[in-house]
Amino acid sequence: MLWDIGSSRRMVHRFALIIVLLLLMEGVLSAAAKDTREEFPVPPPPFSEGMFPCSSCHASMEVNTKKRELKDAHAEIRLHHAETMRWCLDCHDGNKRDKLRLYNGELIDFTKSYLLCGECHGNIFRDWRAGIHGKRQGYFYGSGKRTYLLCVHCHDSHIPKFKPMKPEPPPHKPKEAKDAK
């Protein structure tokens, strides 16, 4: 009897498909594709003294959605972060001032601001989660606690670009031993 190579390949493909389906049912493959909503241990954001909680001042104020130049307590804030398309209430919630607002309207704590930043800066968020962008403190291989810094620990959320830095001079070359004979 001759061996039918075509039917063998189909059988192998079916077997592989069954294995993949079983793995999916067990959650092995779905665990590899982690949800972007996982928790990251982060220190509190570096708020200015007396500026947080926002509700301490805003609780009695009426919500003004008009885009305008800020005065009084927030006069020092200059928005240079897609300023032609953004306004304060695109990120901050108008009614619950101690929360940030995602694009879908979901409210999040300031300690999860990486989710908000990640909505527009997805590639950088991916790198941050992997530990390539930003600073991560602690252990890297599962043993011990790891801490991630929030975007706002290094970037001003209203003016996120780093200011140009003057580079340090290059290191001096070691002097060669002239008398080495």
Q: pLDDT by residue (tens digit) across 90-99?
A: 888 888 888 9
Instruction: Give the chain's domain count.
Output: 1
**Which structural domain range is residue 130 located in?**
36-50+77-164
- The proportion of the chain whose per-residue pLDDT surpasses 70, expressed as a percent, equals 71
**Does residue 22 lie in a domain region?**
no
Domain assignment of residue 55, yes or no: no
Q: Report if residue 171 sits inside a domain.
A: no
Report whether pLDDT(130) > 50: yes
Check whether 109 has a pLDDT greater than 70: yes
The residue among 74 and 133 whose pLDDT is bigger is 133
Contact indicator for 92, 108 with CB cutoff of 8 Å: no
96's tokens: 């619950």
Higher pLDDT: 143 or 10? It is 10
Would you state the pLDDT for residue 12?
Answer: 74
Q: What is the largest CA-CA distance in the chain?
A: 91
Distance CA 52, CA 46 (A): 10
Digit-coded pLDDT (tens) for 9-65: 777 778 777 776 666 665 544 443 344 566 777 877 877 656 677 777 777 888 887
45 part of a folded domain? yes
Q: Which long-range contacts (CB under 8 A, 24 or more apart) does 91-99 make?
A: 91/116, 91/157, 92/54, 94/63, 94/65, 95/63, 96/55, 97/53, 97/54, 97/55, 97/58, 97/59, 98/52, 98/53, 98/54, 98/55
Q: Checking phi first, is residue 70 left (phi over 0); if not, alpha (psi -120 to 50) or beta?
A: beta
Looking at residue 51, its pLDDT comes to 67
> How far, in whole angstroms, is CA 97 from its chain's centroid?
21
> Is-contact 59 98, C-beta < 8 A?
no
Give this prediction's pTM.
0.60
Domain presence at residue 129: yes
Say if 44 falls within a structural domain: yes
Residue 1 lies in a domain: no
Q: Among candidates 46, 43, 45, 36, which has minimal Cα distance to 130?
A: 36
The per-residue pLDDT for 107 is 94
Q: 95 vs 140, which has greater pLDDT?
A: 95
In a domain, 126, yes or no: yes
